[in-house]
Amino acid sequence: MNEVIRHTADLQASPRTLSGAQLIWEALVREGTDVVFGYPGGAIMPAYDAMIQYPIRHVLVRHEQGAAHMAEGYARATGRVGVAVATSGPGATNLVTGIANAMMDSVPIVCITGQVPSSLIGSDAFQEVDITGVTLPITKHNLLVTEPQNIAPAIREAFYIARSGRPGPVVVDITKDAQQKSCEYVPDDSPVRLPGYRPEHHVPSKDIDEAARMIAAAKKPVIFCGHGVIKSEATELLLELVRRTNIPVACTLLGLGGFPASHPRALGMMGMHGEAWVNRAIQEADLILAIGMRFDDRVTGNLKTYAKNAKKIHIELDPAEINKNVKVDLPLVGNAREILTELLPRVASPVVDEWVNYIEELKGESAVLEIQHMPDNGRLFAAHVVHDLWRLTEGKSLIVTDVGQHQMWEAQYYKHDHPKKLITSGGLGTMGFALPAAIGAKFACPEDDVWVIVGDGGFQMTACELATCAQEGIKVNIAIINNGYLGMVRQWQQFFFGGRYVATPMKSPDFVKLAEAHGLKGLRVTDRQSVKAAVEAARAAEETCIIDFRVEQEDSVYPMVPAGADLQDMIRRPSAGPSNGNTQNGIHNPIFETGKDK
Amino acid sequence: MTTQETQPLRTFVAYVEDKPGVLNRIASLFRRREYNIVSLNVGRTHQDGVSRMTFQVAADADKSRRIEANLYKLVNVLSVEDITDKQAVIRDLALIKVRVLPERRTEALQLVEVFRARAVDVAPQSLTVEITGSQDKISGLLAALTPFGILEMVQSGTVAMTRGEEGDAARSARQSTVRSVSAA
């Protein structure tokens, strides 16, 4: 065995001869990487062998998809670049879902994959996959490296591209022979220069003036807070803008926390499962100031009828997002924080009292509020679980959600007052995202109380990462919203497919025993009275704890704007609540409503 | 796509890094966003490491801006310009091999002359013609030669260059403005 040389992070400037494998870690240490999530295998073994010389913690995942999600969770909790490592072939292809997720949600991660030796490329060698080809449309950029001297520059470029501009995933594929060969290494700390890549944009001053004029003239304005507000750390500026203008703020799913939910001008989430008053406000608005969001179809509904009366100002970093889905009147292309900084001194307060009062009145007829008024007859509703969790954690926990009904209930009932405290799979809607992303977030923020809120279906997609929690001694709390169905699909089947529950009833293992089998803690809750004690017990436990919340099986997320429908046309919760009377054969009858008569 | 058929043809000139896989990145982008390439030409330039592309896509002005913006997101793309509304020299090249027996050779050569094309090879029973020009001109010659019997033909993608004095240097100096304006 080679003697293990502990690396002193003081990296010398003089030329040294290093192996390609060493150069990988050398470059990562220089980028400030302290933890990587990965899984070894043939083509990446030289790199793993060199890893012990460097001050980097390696987290052994149980499936490479988990590694990519962990890197993403780490990146989203901190804003720093997350790193995943995998071998060639199946190791690399297992990363693909996680890479696509990071691409859709603009998250900076760097994935380092081993590749078969360069002499074998193109020969269909054992565990050879053209991973740069496979990931071409789902990465911001990718690189294949076949020579050791190109490794450090490639990793430097990858980090720069991943975190600058609109962030995204970058794959660096490194052949085994490049890892094994050595070369002379001179560290390079100069700024990365890529001739075709200039992510910065500057907004003409006259456009900022025009935006200020449009805001001052508005009578029914709404601000949209998207993920870009959180990414550019513009929350304070947005608060100041609202303090000066009193304009109400609606959030996208990924924008939740970008503007405090407890603020009097906070409207809540917009779109398919947004509160009724938010979507009505949008449809009736005369000005939309959209910040760092991309008018996703889950936000707009039918584009032909979407916010027809509103002039639209779009603050967005990516020029390709301008006029993609919604035609805007004034695009401001650039970093949200920089643009708000310029806009603030020029903005004058519009007269919006009447508008604000009108929206407050709309809130009274909210369908979402109804669940809080439902009789608490001891039965357990997911909304109650999330609501109680919010109260018990004082809204301060870092919540990671998966995809489906629980994700929407979390968005509706856990009121986020701080940015980067909600991590969820937005654009891609990846089941299985939550647990690994939470593990990554916990490594990034070890002091945070991290909660996974996940469905019984999504949890089982990556439940293998419980073993990672156990091995790494990492503590997260897992609230499984267990309704025995793939709930969101079941809900669509109920509403749109004649109630035929095809392939949605789901039998699960005993989650308490599953936790115990991993040496972790497991609890089960079947009534509302027990929620508090279970949450407290989970938080008090030293190890990762699963709470299996057995909730109402056929509850649905309300309100709901069906896909492609007009934003004001929503399905509402049956007025009496699902727990008494309004059921037929165990299926609640939702109220289909169109806004056309209003 | 039915919408594309009603959209006018737009001509773009792009400079890209001459690296492996760059054409694949661009083709992948066009495929993914459903931009239908009508014509594509890639070749080297007088600058080492820089390739020049000319491509034509059916697009309205809005779509054209998004094509530009999406191309700029590719790290290896140095600059993109929609030259549709500019004065430009736009050329295709075609080689056409026609079945021509000796007794009709003069007749065929006269036709070639009318179209300002060139005979580049003569065989006992065939004639090969080279023509450069607009797509219209090539189609015209093709129609005129069809009665003889076309044996084979090959056509390059369209290449284009704006008229006037401005060269690459001026264009690359303008890149940053093009980038920020591309959204407006």
Contact between chains at B24 and A324 (C-beta distance less than 8 A): no
Q: What is the ipTM of this complex?
A: 0.86
d(CA A574, CA A10): 65
Chain A nearest-CA distance from B82, in A, is 15
Positions of A marked active-site = 64, 126-127, 176, 488
Task: Tell me the sheet residues that pair with A480.
Answer: A454, A548
What Cα–Cα distance (Å) separates residue B151 from each residue in A488, B95, B97, B133, B141? 61, 11, 5, 21, 14
How far apart are alpha carbons A569 and A583 in whole angstroms? 23
Which tokens hold the place of B127? Answer: 């004639």
Percent helix, strand, coil in chain A (nearest 5)? 40, 20, 40
Residue ranges of chain B whose CB lies within 8 Å of a chain A CB? 16-17, 21, 24-25, 28-29, 32, 62, 65-66, 69-70, 72-79, 176, 179-180, 182-184
Cα B26 to Cα B33: distance, rounded to the nearest angstrom: 11
What pairing do the DSSP bridges indicate for beta strands B77-82 and B9-17?
A: antiparallel
Could you tell me the two tokens for A24?
């990988």
Residues β-bridged to residue A58: A36
- Equal fold, B2-86 vs B89-159: yes
Question: Which amino acid is residue A66, in one-letter code?
Answer: G
- The CA distance from B150 to the nearest CA of chain A, in Å, is 39
Pick the closest to residue A41 from A95, A82, A5, A3 (CA basis): A95
The residue whose two tokens read 């065939």 is B126
Q: B2-86, what's its fold?
A: Alpha-Beta Plaits (3.30.70)
Q: What are phi and psi of A252, to 5 degrees?
A: -80, 170
Contact A319 B76 (CB under 8 A): no
Q: What is the dihedral of CA A201, A206, A211, A214, to 10 degrees?
A: -160
Structure tokens at B35: 């931009």
Residue of B16, B75, B180 lying closest to A141 (CB–CB):
B75
Chain A interface residues facing chain B, Cβ-Cβ under 8 Å? Answer: 132-133, 136-137, 140-141, 144, 161, 194-198, 201-204, 207, 318-320, 322-324, 327, 331, 333
Cβ contacts of A461 within 8 Å, gap of 6 or more: A431, A432
Closest of A111, A128, A97 to residue A24, by C-alpha:
A111
The domain spans of chain B are: 2-86, 89-159
Q: What tokens appear for A243 in the block?
A: 């303090």
B69 vs A141: CB contact, 8 Å cut-off? no
Report which of A60, A56, A12 is spatially closest to residue A32, judged by C-alpha positions: A56
**What is the least distance, in Å, from the CA of A199 to any CA of chain B?**
9
How far apart CA A165 and CA A196 sit, in angstroms, is 13
CA-to-CA separations, A216 to A77, A329, A332, A360, B91, in angstroms, rounded: 36, 16, 17, 21, 52
Rounded-to-integer distance, Cα A27 and Cα A151, Å: 8
Structural domains in chain A, CATH included, are 16-185 (3.40.50.970), 205-363 (3.40.50.1220), 376-557 (3.40.50.970)
Residue B36 CB neighbours (<10 A): 14
pLDDT in tens for each of the 598 residues of chain A?
Answer: 344 444 444 455 567 999 999 999 999 999 999 999 999 999 999 999 999 999 999 999 999 999 999 999 999 999 999 999 999 999 999 999 999 999 999 999 999 999 999 999 999 999 999 999 999 999 999 999 999 999 999 999 999 999 999 999 999 999 999 999 999 999 998 999 999 998 989 999 999 999 999 999 999 999 999 999 999 999 999 999 999 999 999 999 999 999 999 999 999 999 999 988 999 999 999 999 999 999 999 999 999 999 999 999 999 999 999 999 999 999 999 999 999 999 999 999 899 999 999 999 988 766 556 666 666 777 899 999 999 999 999 999 999 999 999 999 999 999 999 999 999 999 999 999 999 999 999 999 999 999 999 999 999 999 999 999 999 999 999 999 999 999 999 999 999 999 999 999 999 999 999 999 999 999 999 999 999 999 999 999 999 999 999 999 999 999 999 999 999 888 988 764 444 444 444 445 666 655 443 3
- Per the CB < 8 Å rule, is B62 touching A197? no
How many angstroms separate the CA of residue A137 from the nearest CA in chain B?
7
CB hemisphere CA count around A325 (13 angstroms)? 17
* Structural element, H or E, at residue A468: helix A466-472
Nearest CA to B53 out of B170, B174, B180, B159 is that of: B159
Its pTM stands at 0.92
Q: What is the spatial distance between Cα A291 and Cα B35, in angstroms, rounded to a whole number?
A: 28
Rounded to the nearest 10 degrees, the angle between the axes of helix A434-444 and helix A64-78 is 50
Asked if B28 lies within 8 A of A331 by C-beta distance, the reply is no
Nearest alpha carbon to residue A273 among A492, A560, A489, A571:
A560
Q: Are A403 and A382 in contact (CB under 8 A)?
A: no
Chain A: residue whose CA lies nearest to B19:
A143
Structure tokens at B63: 């779509």
Q: CATH number of B89-159: 3.90.1570.10, 3.30.300.30, 2.40.40.20, 3.30.70.1150?
A: 3.30.70.1150
Per CB-CB distance under 8 Å, the chain A contacts of B74 are: 141, 196
